A and B are shown apart, each in its own frame.
Chain A
Amino acid sequence: MSYRRAPILFVIALLIAAACSQPPPASATGSPTPQPTAGGAASTLVYYADVSDLISLDPAVAYEFSGILVVHNAYDTVVKFEGADLANIKAGLATSWDTKDAGATWDITFKLKSGVKFASGNPLTADDVVYSLQRVIKLNKSPAFLFTDIAGIKADAIKATDASTVVVSLPKTASAQGFLSILTFTVGGIVDSKEVKTHETAGDFGSGWLLDHSAGSGPYGVDHWTKNSEVLLKANANYGGTKPALSGVLVKHVPESTNQQFALEKGDADVARNLSPQQIAALQGKTGIATTSGNSLLLVYLGMNATVKPLNDVNVREALRTAIDYDGIIKDLLKGNAKKVQGIVPIGLSGANESAPFQADVTKAKALLAQAGQTAVTLDFLVPTGQAPGGVAFSDLAAKLQSDWAKIGVTVNIKQTTTADLLTTYRAQKGQLVMIYWGPDFPDPDANVGPFTDYAAKSIAFRNGWDDKTIAAKGRDAALITDAAKRTTAYKDITEYVLHNGPYAVLYQPTELFGLRSNVKGFAWNPMGWLDFASITK
């Protein structure tokens, strides 16, 4: 009799439970109520990507690709690169800068542009620059090492000498050119100190508020960030430069590349960021769709532990390098979606050595092994799970290498583990052969050469047990050279040496692929991982 009520009661109970699961008010979680986008679909760029790595929109904290993408468009830096260029430093918020030898330090003096306003309307002053750069060091989050370790500066090295001049004093051991490159990066984003100071709590320099708000002078400002869902950028009304064509940019979190492709084809997405080369190939020729590519600065490489026999013999390492079918990998596995780069500096940075002498030569490789007195070598091969940059599975790459090396009598046992697991082993110098990739932290050749050559830096050279003091010293010297031509020559020497003597086999430099609606124009991907949304139209 009364049992009919049971299901209805249960439904009601669930409804009550749901109603009671009211989320705490917005201020507690920090995520504001989402607003509709201004202007709607026609004037908003809809950018579908996997932004699961997004942690914070604070320029002093953001260090992941997704954070960099958004922060770059909300904040200006004192100096910048334009478009996809990474060689010529241009004026940003600073109209001029000059480097002086001040005895114990390099003093870089920046003269700031006048009349610049932040999104709030507050004018830009030297104090804002000092505040912004100092808080990076004080907060000491992921990108802080670029200031404290690479540039070697402390907070007091940054001073405002008047309302529109800032002086930064670098120790002589740091590279002035390198520091300028660092400043173009999001870590150098200048925040509106007046605005941020009103949101400071418990000495966090406003980091809690800046997590999902922006206070910059860039062409866009952050409207809202709905965690795990989307970030909306709205055009900055007080922007001093050319106003962006699109009044909004919606970055939607869509991790499934299948969904990205569907949405792109149906027109729900304007840009699809994470398509595989196969999907890009499938999209060719479809009406309304275009594809484009961008350079990346990643290098997919193999690390050989030089403390493990027989990898300690340079002939063995050279033999392994010589046996690899690089062309086959790039053509067949990557569908041409990569550059053939074998040096440790990627193309796009000055100092890149385009010489790529290795291509599968079984005879030569066998001869090298014989020279080393080795006939049958067995090694453990540590490989990450998942997709490698460029759109091929790591396991496919590993299988190919395994078969290439089998031809010269080298047997490798492939062990696939998560990247985190691999890194733990690698960092502890416990790998034998390790496949992994590397991207420079700032757009300067030293960002790669340092880690790859300097054992003392406890980075890549350390992980592979390669303690070559001569080349480490050469690398450190090259970083400090101010004359561009001399620097390039120095790096050519270094990369040539590492090519044949180092414990590395660089496989390729992947290309980034994007799917676009064909009406999207002005898309220029910068290899450091950002995009100037302001130059895009649709």
Chain B
Amino acid sequence: MRFLGFLLRRIVGIAAVMIGVSVITFAISHVIPADPAVAALGDHATDEQIAAFRSEYRLDRPLVEQYVTYAEGILHGDLGRSIRTRRAVIDDLVDSFPATLELSFTALLVSMLVGVPAGVWSAIYRGRPPDFVVRLLALAGGSIPVFWLGLIVIGLGYYQLGWFPGGGRIDAFVAPPPPRTGLYVIDSILAGDLNALRSSLLHLVLPALTLGYFSTAVITRMTRSSMLEVLGQDYMRTARAKGLRERVIVLRHALRNALIPTVTIIGLTFGSLLSGAVLTETIFSWPGLGRYATASAVSLDFPAVLGVTLLAAIVYPLANLVVDLAYYWLDPRIQRG
């Protein structure tokens, strides 16, 4: 019962945030000095065509009415029509979201697989060379512009060395697997298509490494600091005094507790991955949400920008909700609060 109350409150909270996000984005997109009809139709359009376009996309109605129509539409799953692609925004989003999800997910996986051990290792050897190396790399990861890194990675990995493909999700001459989840790797596995699996994995490497560097750095630092904190605590000293092997202590007690803050920030890093995806997708010709968002913003396609922002803004609270649900289920103590 209490669980339901918790869930309900969170969902209402998310809904409130979504409303706020939609209002703000709507306000922003209507502050534009330029006429989106002109942006869409171009220099050659006659005044009649512009007027017809404005009428078709209801750009000539008062702002509040436009918003209300829009909000009503959302409740029916209709996010309006993209001014640039002339398709339903929801269709555009559905087409591009899986690509970004796959890339972000892979980057997150890489971050955890690299970041957690690195953080642990760095904490254990604190003050010694491995610690400095890890800390330096983590510092670089938090300070490097992702688009610059992408240029370097693609220049080296594709152009100079030719080890990896230079963009896209899959080879031009390999058929993508039948869409079940929209994630090529998973769909290839489900379809048993090894060729597609190999191709999509190879295509994921460079962009995932680029996108994942920042979150790897964050997770490394987080893991390291919480490991250090745990390693210095009383019960650790007691455990060590009891004479258990150092390695066993680390693995069983410290890691477990150090992971809590790390898991906490996974939701946060997922949100930052979406931001980073914008630039990464541009450089790696990745047909995802980020590239769609950029193209939409450039062409003043505000229904599309609204759609992307709404979708992106729901991911972070949703991810947090999933994490919290996991904790809630695992730790009865939290259920009280």
Contact = CB atoms under 8 A, between A and B. Distances in A.
A/B: CB atoms within 8 Å of each other: yes
Nearest to A386: B298
A87 B112 CA distance: 64
A18 B101 contact: yes
B49 A250 contact: no
Contact of A436 (B36, B43, B178, B322): B43
Interface in A391-429: 417-421, 423-424, 427
A256 B256 contact: no
Contact of A5 (B101, B186, B255, B330): B330
Nearest to A259: B167
Interface in A236-288: 250, 252-256, 258-259, 262-263, 265-266, 268
Contacts of A24: 94
A485 interface: no
Contact of A4 (B49, B95, B259): B259
Given A18-B183, A266-B159, A228 B173 contact: no
Contact of B327 (A6, A15, A40): A6
A266 B162 contact: yes
A420 B43 contact: no
A253 B287 CA distance: 9
Contacts of B97: 21
Contacts of A31: 95
A328 interface: no
* Chain A interface mostly: mixed
A266 B94 contact: no
Given A7-B259, A22-B181, A2 B331 contact: yes
A37 B172 CA distance: 8
Interface in B216-269: 255-257, 259-260, 262-263, 266
Interface string B283-307: 1110100011001000110000000
Nearest to A40: B173
B101 A142 contact: no
B57 interface: no
Given A259-B285, A424-B34, A228 B179 contact: no
A493 B39 CA distance: 35
B268 to A, nearest CB: 13
Contacts of A255: 282, 285, 291, 295
B46 interface: yes
Nearest to A385: B298
Most B-side CB within 10 Å, residue of A22, A250, A417: A22
Contact of B285 (A13, A40, A253): A253
B39 A420 contact: yes
Contacts of A438: 43
A299 to B, nearest CB: 12
A216 to B, nearest CB: 21
A4 B285 contact: no
Given A2-B331, A35-B175, A266-B158, A18 B181 contact: yes
B317 interface: no
A520 B162 CA distance: 23
Nearest to B91: A29
A258 B256 contact: no
B33 interface: yes
Interface string A103-120: 000000000000000000
A423 B38 contact: yes
A14 interface: yes
Contacts of B336: none
A100 interface: no
A121 interface: no
B226 to A, nearest CB: 12
A7 B263 contact: yes
Contact of A228 (B112, B159, B287): B287
A484 interface: no
Interface string A1-36: 111111101110111011101111000111101111
Contacts of B98: 18, 21, 23
Contacts of A13: 322, 325-326
Nearest to A230: B172
Contacts of A259: 154, 166-167, 283-285
A210 B142 CA distance: 48
Contacts of A41: 172-173
A21 B181 contact: yes
Given A1-B256, A29-B95, A19 B86 contact: no
Contact of A263 (B41, B87, B167): B167
A46 interface: yes
Interface string A505-530: 00000000000000000000000000
Most B-side CB within 10 Å, residue of A6, A227, A441: A6
Most A-side CB within 10 Å, residue of B166, B174, B182: B166
B94 A10 contact: no
Nearest to A25: B179
B141 interface: no
Contacts of B159: 262, 265-266
A424 to B, nearest CB: 5
B42 interface: yes
Contacts of B295: 52, 255
19 contacts: A1-B256, A9-B326, A14-B319, A17-B322, A19-B180, A21-B98, A23-B95, A28-B91, A36-B174, A41-B173, A227-B95, A229-B287, A250-B172, A252-B168, A253-B287, A255-B285, A255-B295, A420-B36, A421-B33
Given A14-B322, A30-B91, 10 more contacts: A3-B260, A4-B256, A4-B259, A6-B323, A19-B186, A22-B182, A28-B91, A55-B85, A252-B168, A418-B39
Interface of A: 1-7, 9-11, 13-15, 17-19, 21-24, 28-31, 33-37, 40-41, 44, 46, 52, 55-56, 142, 145, 149, 226-230, 250, 252-256, 258-259, 262-263, 265-266, 268, 417-421, 423-424, 427, 436, 438, 441, 458-459
Q: Which 8 A-B pairs have the closest CB atoms?
A: A420-B39, A421-B34, A36-B175, A420-B34, A424-B35, A13-B322, A9-B326, A228-B287
